Amino acid sequence: MKRIIITVSEYYLHELNVVADELREEGVTITQLHEYGVIVGLAAEETIERIRHHKEVAALTEEKEVKIAPPDAQIQSLNDHDPSPTR
């Protein structure tokens, strides 16, 4: 099961609860439903592939992690990975 963030298309915001019910029927466990059309939940890989291209789904991403540097770091970096340099 992966933690996912679904952004519902603006065209379907007026029936957000109906969309949420349909997603639950597809196998999504909804943990958070925001009135502005963002749904946080858990779903299996197969479910994700199935719902990703539904017309009500404007975007579906795996939940990102946000970070800051450890407390003793002098530069309070947002993350401590080594990003690839730009071209």
Partner 1 sequence: MIPPKIGNSPFENKGNIRPMGMYPGHGYPGEEQPRYTGRHFLIHKETKGGKSGIKRVLETKWGFTVAETLDFKTQGVNEQNIEGADALIYNELGVTLLGTEEDPIPLLKSLDDEYFIAPEKVVYLLEEQPPTTWGIRTTGADRSRYTGSGVRLAVLDTGFDAAHPDFQEKEVTACSFVPEETGQDQHGHGTHCIGVAGGATDEKGQRYGVAPGASLFAGKVLSDGGRGAQSWVLNGITWAAKNGCQVISMSLGSPVQPGEVYDIAYERAARFALSKGALLVAAAGNDSDRSLQRFCPVSSPADCPSILAVGAVDEELNVANFSNRAVNPSGLVDFVAPGVGIHSAWVMPTRYRTLSGTSMATPHVAGIIALLWEKYPAATPAEIEKILRETAKRLPIATEDGGVGLCIAP
In the complex, which residues of this chain contact partner 1 (CB under 8 A)?
A: 3, 5-7, 31-32, 34-38, 40, 58-59, 61, 63-71, 74-79, 81, 83-87
Looking at the Cβ atoms of 16 and 47, the one nearer to partner 1 is: 16
Between 25 and 65, name the residue whose CB sits nearer to partner 1: 65
Report the nearest approach of partner 1 to the CB of residue 19 (Å).
Answer: 14
- Both tokens of 45, joined, read 């890989």
Minimum Å gap between C-beta 25 and partner 1 is 22
Helix, strand or coil, per DSSP, at residue 57: strand
CA dihedral 33, 38, 42, 45 (to 10 degrees): 150
Residue 56 contacts residue 9 (beta carbons within 8 Å): yes
